[in-house]
Structures are given as C-alpha cells and as structure tokens.
Chains A and B, each alone.
Chain A
Amino acid sequence: MEIANIPFWDFFGVWVAALLTLFIFSFLYKDNPFYKFAEHLFVGISAGYFVGYYYYNVLLPNFWEPFYYQGRYEYLIAVILGITILFRLSRKQAWVSRFGFAFVIGCGAGINFIAYLQSNALAQIYGTITPLVSLVSGEGGILVDWKNTVFNLVAIIGVCSALTYFYFSKPHKGFLGGVARLGIWFLMISFGASFGYTVMARISLLIGRMHFLIFDWIETTINVINGNIAIGSTF
C-alpha cells in the first residue's frame, strides 16, 4: 500500500493553527494565559501584516506606479496631505495635521451624501412605489390580484411607518406615535429574520472550524502516528 506524504511544514502549520484555535476557544471558559498569548500574537501579526498590505496594495499601485511610471504628478497632492498627518507627532505643529483630516472627512461626507441619497433614498422610493391595488386582466375583464395587493400593501405600510419612526422633530404621540410604533414592529420583525439568518451563517463557520480540528488536525495526526501518512522533509 502506498503511504501518503505530508510536508513537514504543512503538518507543523496544522498543529499551530489547531493549538491557536483552541487557545482562542479557551476564552469561553475565562481569560487565561493561553488566550492572552493567542490574542497578542493575533493582534501583533495582523498589525504587522497590514503594514505590508498597505505598502503593496495602496502605496505602490495608488501612488508610486502612476507617479513614477506614468508621470502623474497630481498624485503628490495626496502624499502631501498624508504627510500633514505625521505632524501630529509634533505638539507645536500638530495643527498642520488638520488639513489631512479635514480632507478625508470632508471627502467621505461629500461622496457618501450622493451615494446614500441614491441607494438609501431614491432607489428605495423607486422600489416601494407599487400599485396599492394590483390589477390583472382576466376572462371577466380587469380583476384585483389580491395576493400581490397584500404584498404591496405590506411593503408600502412597512416603509412608511418605519420612516415615520425616524422622524425626529415631532413628539411621537397620538396618530404619529401609533404609526411610529407600527414602524418599530416592522423593524423588529425584520431584525428577527435577519438574526436567524445570520446565526445560521455563524453556525456554518463553527462547523468549518470543527471540521478543521477533527479532520485536518486529529485525523491527520492519528494517521501519522499509525504510519498511514509519512511526514516528508519538503516545504
């Protein structure tokens, strides 16, 4: 029988990943040195990783390549604004950093204004405007499609009442209060559906991790011990 082979560093990596997974899971019991070790390792490695990530995926393609290879000198403006933020390191000159911050926040707010107006306002209104009474052509002439009518009514009443809940400049009393309460009911029902949906997704993540621990780690290790899998010396 041919014996399967696993490279040493792959096997080592599986063990490291499995132990770190267990260290993180140990948090479910209480804070402990194993969790602390995994936490600090995770935070430190990911912080360092992102330094490299930003260098290769932001600085090089978004500044250096257009600037150096295409002669697009306007990109220097972004670099200068970036450098102003470093003035935070000086107590006396810290005010210079406000130029960079102001640009980022101002652009973020301005660009998002249009994006949100399009996606959260106009597109929603477009989707919500449906016939209050849905009609279909039948043998006896024009008939009411009750099923679609109910769907449309639920959507229109739901959107209008939820929108009323987010009306801040009038007290929620009387008729307005009643409509706003209906709106919060619609919101809570949608939250419940969303909660269940997301919990299912999280369960699948847990299954994935358990699959790794049982098959990639425990089963492989047992097979190595029993001699069914040989540890190679290749990388």
Chain B
Amino acid sequence: MPKRKGGIPTLTSKAPTAGLLSVMVALFVFSLVPTVTWGQPAPRPPTNLQGEDFPLDDGRRIQLTWALSPDDREGGLVEEYILLRSTKEEGPYTELPYSIPLGSDSYVDSGEVDENGVTVVEEPRNNIKFYYKIIALGKGGVRSEECLIDGPVVATRQWFHPGRVNMLVASIVLSLLILFFIWQASLGKELYIRPLAGLEAVQEAIGRATEMGKPVLFIPGIMDMDDIQTIAGVTILGRVARMVAEYDADILVPCSRSLVMTIASEVVREAYLDAGRPDAFKPDNIRYLTDDQFGYVAGVDGIMLRERPAANFYLGTFYAESLILAETGASVGAIQIAGTAMPSQLPFFVAACDYTLIGEELFAASAYLSKEPKQLGSLVGQDWGKLIFLLFIIIGSIIAIFNQLNPDLISIKSWFEIQ
C-alpha cells in the first residue's frame, strides 16, 4: 500500500470498500468514547435524598439534603451531582441545570433566571408537590443509579417571620405616633416646623422668574413613581406650580418616566385650577424626554440653554446626572434649589446650587409648604420616632460597655438585629 510522507495509509482504488469500512469502524469506535469513557466505572449513587420547605420564605424554595456517594472523595469517581425534578412521582423528570460540585450534600432549589431575566428553571411554586431524584456524575459523563426522594416536597409561604418582630414593633410604634399627631393636628393643635432655608427661597426664586419673564424649570428626578423621593418631589411640584400660576409665570417639567410625566401633568393642572387660572395651564410644558439617564440629561441641558429658566428646582432621586444638570443651570444664571436623599449626589448639589434640601428635608418640605394637618402630623410623629431611636443608641452604647464584661447582660443592640 502506498504511503504518504508521514506514513499515514491512504485509500487506493484497489481496495476502496475495505478502506471505507475501516474508517467507518474507526468512527464508530470513537463515537462511543464519551459514553463508555474507556471503561470508566459508574460512581455509586448518593443516598437518603430528603427535601423540606425552606423556612421563613415566600414559598418558592425547597431545601434538599442527601448522603454523599461513597465515591465522593478526592480522586474518587464523582465529579458533580445532578438534580432532576417532576411534579409526578412516575415522571417525566426534568434535569435541573444547576452545577452541584462534589462534596456538596445540600442544595436549595429556587429556580434560575439568566442574565437577561429569562426564566431558565421555574421556581418551586407555593403548594405544588415536587419529586426529586439525584444522580452522581462520574468522569466522562458516566452516571450513577438514581436516588429518588422519599415522598413529595411542598414549598409553603410563611406569613410571619419570628426573626423580624423588631420590624413589626418599630412599624407599629412609628405608625401609632404618626397617627396620634395627625389626629392632634386635625383637632387644630398648632404643630411647629422649623424653617427650611431652601424653601424660604422658593417664593424668591419664582418671583425672580416672573420679573425676568423667564420660565421656572422643575426636574422631579429620574426615577419612577414607585420611588418615595419622586413622590416627595411631585408633591412639592404641586406647591411650586400653584405659586407659579399665582405669579403668572411659566413652569417647564421635563420628565424621564412616562408615568411621572402623566402624574406631573395632573398635579400642575390641579395647581393651576386651585390658583383660579386653569386657562393658563400649558400641557405641552410637561414633557417626556427619554428613560435613558444621559439622553435625558442632554435633553434637559438643551432646554436650559434655549429656554434659559430663571429658577431651577431639582427635587427627587438623582444619580450621576446631578452635577451635569446643576452646573448647566448655574452657567445660565438660574437660581437653583435642589433636594435629594441620595447621599452620593448631595455634595454636588451643595457645591453647585444656591439652596439644598438635605435628605429628609426633602420629605419635610411638602409638609412645610402645605401646612396640611396630615403632613404636619406625620412629620412630628417621625420626629418622635427619631427621638426614641436616639435614646436607644445612647442607652445601648452605654450598656454595650458592660456587655464587654458580662455578655449575659441584656443587649439593646441585639434588639435591632434583622434576620
């Protein structure tokens, strides 16, 4: 038989069938490699697969435990474990794509979602019976025999978390304090709120805009209406818009969320109605730009440069756009009032704006402007809550000195531990 330079035999016309057959046989043999793995023995299976509802959750997790395969050791036959799941004991069972390394004798099945948020494995749903099997996977993909769970497992939802009683107590105490002071305010009791420098300037800013014949720009942050700071910002918008309507100025509200735009439009319309000037309301001044953070910034910067507002309000949740907005506002000579509870953005507003409502002042602003009994009572109730927390910190820190000497002594710190 002629040979190539490398000594590999080639097929010749003399024996085509025999050569082809030998190649096919070779291919067939190689195709068996992944399954027989050169005679690799299957590992012995894990045993005693047990399942129970994962404690203190919303009924979407199942805790599984098992006894390791006797071959699960360093240099042993086991490479990993595979879980299979079904809603019927007889199957069919679906292989779960979890990678459970050797040495693991437990796993929490809670479903799986990929990086795009698409469900890969459905989570074990509340009150549905699930059956599990576990297999030890050996070298080359050799599988052990299956170990079936002893009876079905059901994930159940727990309505009460005993490790969070402190949260319940704090919620009840705070709510009762707020309700009490709202009740006091509704009875006509005068509740004092200290002046907030930023809000004292609101009237001045709107007056300045009116005198200059320029609009007022109000930015309610870049988050949606489920964000508490956006809610606070939109509440203040109502007060600002009413003042704007009374002064016969214009207000521009570019929004980065469609829902915020819709609600801002409603709030401003009502403010104009309350001021007795519904005809002066301009729906086009409450605009949606885009949900994209920096696209929104580019749009607002453009509005600032072209409309040149005399007063800018930034009240809501802000991220990296805070300094870009505040700097552009300062460059067009607007008086600027900002307020946010984002600690990382407050320094920029403090540096670039005339007045800044720091953190909780944003939430107090609405009560201060409106003087409504509900909002005033809520604010005073929260103040009492802060006073109680302050006392706990001071007393807890003193007792903590003695906790170092005697750990069995009562520990106030442990009351605030959340599980």
B and A form one assembly: yes
| Chain A interface (Cβ < 8 Å from any Cβ of B) | 24, 27, 30-31, 35-36, 38-39, 42-47, 49-50, 53, 57, 61, 65, 85, 88, 97, 101, 104-105, 107-109, 111-114, 116-118, 121-123, 125-126, 128-135, 142, 152, 156, 159-160, 163-164, 166-172, 187-188, 190-192, 194-195, 198, 202
Interface check B225, CB cutoff 8 A: yes
> By the criterion CB–CB under 8 Å, are A108 and B227 in contact?
yes
A65 nearest in chain B by CB position = B119
Question: Which of B19-27, B90-98, B340-348 is near enough to bind chain A?
Answer: B340-348
Contact B194 A117 (CB under 8 A): no
Kindly list the 10 A-B residue pairs having the minimum CB-CB distance in the complex, ordered from nearest: A108-B226, A46-B292, A46-B295, A195-B347, A129-B396, A191-B347, A126-B416, A47-B290, A129-B413, A131-B400
Q: Interface residue count for B (Cβ, 8 Å)? A: 77
Q: Is the C-beta of B358 less than 8 angstroms from some C-beta in chain A?
A: yes
Stretch at the interface among B137-145, B243-251, B382-390: B382-390
B295/A121 in contact, CB under 8 A: no
Q: How far is the CA of A62 from the CA of B213 in the complex (A)?
A: 47
**Measured between C-beta atoms, what is the minimum distance from A159 to chain B in Å?**
7
Q: Is the CB of B347 within 8 A of A46?
A: no
**Are A42 and B228 in contact, CB atoms less than 8 angstroms apart?**
no
User: Chain B contacts of A50 at CB under 8 A?
Assistant: 290-292
The B165-195 residues at the A interface (CB cut-off 8 A) are 166-167, 170-171, 174, 191-194
Q: Is B351 an interface residue (CB 8 A)?
A: yes
Task: Given the known inter-chain contacts A61-B118, A168-B193, A195-B348, please indicate yes or no for A43 contacting B299, CB distance below 8 A.
Answer: yes
Whole-angstrom distance between the Cβ of A116 and the nearest chain B Cβ: 7
For window 247-280 of B, CB contacts with A under 8 Å fall at 259, 262-263, 265-266
User: Is A107 within 8 A of B359, CB to CB?
Assistant: no
Contact for B389 among A24, A113, A163, CB less than 8 A: A163
Q: Is the CB of A198 within 8 A of B344?
A: yes
Say yes or no for B397: interface residue by CB 8 A criterion.
Answer: yes
Complex Cα spacing A195 to B364, Å: 25
Contact B289 A47 (CB under 8 A): yes
Given A50-B290, A160-B390: A170 and B192 interface contact (C-beta under 8 Å)? yes
- Docked complex Cα distance between A65 and B347 (Å): 44
Chain B 348-384 near chain A by CB (<8 Å), digits 1 or 0: 1011000000111100100010000000000110010
Given contacts A43-B295, A108-B228, A171-B194, contact A121 B263 (CB under 8 A): no
Q: Give the docked Cα–Cα distance between A215 and B340 (Å).
A: 39
A178 to chain B, nearest CB (A): 15
Which of A126, A129, A134, A169 sits near B194, CB closer than 8 Å? A169
B107 to chain A, nearest CB (A): 24
A191 touches B298 (CB 8 A): no
Q: Which of chain A's residues has its CB closest to B254's CB?
A: A43
Q: Give Cα A50–Cα B170 distance, bound, in whole angstroms.
A: 40
Give 1 or 0 for each of B318-355: 1 = CB within 8 Å of chain A CB. 00100100000000000000000001101110110000
Contact of B393 among A101, A160, A188 (CB under 8 A): A160
Minimum C-beta distance from A52 to chain B (A): 11
Q: Are B396 and A107 in contact (CB under 8 A)?
A: no
Distance of B383 from chain A, by nearest CB (Å)? 5
> Are the C-beta atoms of A159 and B118 separated by less than 8 Å?
no
* A170: chain B residues within 8 A (beta carbon): 192, 194, 383
- The answer to whether A39 and B397 have CB atoms under 8 Å apart is no
A131 to B350, CA, bound (A): 34
**29 cross-chain CB contacts under 8 A:** A30-B305, A42-B294, A42-B299, A43-B296, A46-B290, A46-B295, A47-B295, A65-B119, A85-B262, A121-B389, A126-B417, A129-B396, A129-B397, A129-B412, A130-B397, A131-B404, A132-B400, A135-B405, A156-B394, A163-B386, A163-B389, A166-B361, A168-B194, A169-B193, A170-B383, A171-B194, A191-B346, A194-B347, A202-B320
Question: B: which residues have CB within 8 A of A?
Answer: 116-119, 166-167, 170-171, 174, 191-194, 224-228, 231, 259, 262-263, 265-266, 288-292, 294-296, 298-299, 301-302, 305-306, 320, 323, 343-344, 346-348, 350-351, 358-361, 364, 368, 379-380, 383, 385-387, 389-390, 392-394, 396-398, 400-401, 403-405, 412-413, 416-418
Residue contact B299 to A121, C-beta cutoff 8 Å: no
Are the C-beta atoms of B403 and A131 separated by less than 8 Å? yes
User: Are A117's CB and B174's CB within 8 A?
Assistant: yes
Interface centre among B263, B361, B397 (most CB of A within 10 A): B397
Q: Which of B231, B291, B320, B347 contacts A105 (CB 8 A)?
A: B231
Contact with B171, one of A114, A128, A191, A195 (Cβ below 8 angstroms):
A114
CB within 8 Å for A31 and B412 given contacts A43-B290, A129-B393: no
Cα–Cα distance between A111 and B346 once the two chains are bound (Å): 24
Give A202 to B323 CA distance when docked, in angstroms: 11
**A188 CB contacts on chain B under 8 angstroms:** 350
Q: A131-B404, A164-B390, A192-B347 are in contact. Are A31 and B171 (CB under 8 A)?
A: no
Bound form: Cα–Cα A116–B298 in Å: 32
Residues of A within 8 A of B193 (CB): 168-169
Tell whether, in the assembled complex, residue A194 and residue B386 are in contact, meaning their CB atoms are under 8 Å apart. no
Tell me the complex Cα distance, A97–B394, Å: 48
Additional 14 contacts, C-beta under 8 A, given A46-B290, A156-B394, A168-B368: A30-B305, A46-B295, A49-B292, A53-B291, A101-B266, A108-B231, A117-B167, A129-B392, A132-B398, A135-B401, A135-B404, A156-B397, A170-B194, A198-B348
Contacting B299 at CB < 8 Å: which of A39, A107, A109, A156? A39
